[in-house]
Structure formats: structure tokens, C-alpha cells
Amino acid sequence: MDTKDLLNDSSIHHGRNLVCFMNRKGFKVEDLEKALQLSQKQVEELMEMKKEAGE
């Protein structure tokens, strides 16, 4: 077992904990997916703005 395996195991563990916590708070996994998609879109927009500013 190396560090990568350990990281993957802990990521899965934290993911399960997050889902359990969200369920208790009344959130759905879909809400998290939407938030992640939004932040990914924001990252892409920032990268685009950075490219334009650099040229």
C-alpha cells in the first residue's frame, strides 16, 4: 500500500461522511454536484480571463 492508495481510501471515507452529513442536513448529492459544476465553470471563466489579460 502506498500513499496514493491511502489517499484514495481516505477520499472515499470522507466522501461517505460528507454524504451522510448532507443527508442529515437535508441536502441531496445533486445539490453538491450543481455547486461543483458551478465552481468548475467559474474556474474556466477565470482561466479565460487570465489568458485574455496576459495577451
For 30-42, the pLDDT digits (tens) are 887 888 888 888 8
Number of separate domains in the chain: 1
Cβ atoms < 10 Å from Cβ of 37: 10
How is residue 47 written as a grid cell? 482561466
For 2-39, the pLDDT digits (tens) are 666 766 676 667 777 877 887 888 888 788 788 888 88
pTM across the whole model: 0.38
Structural domain including 38 reads 3-54
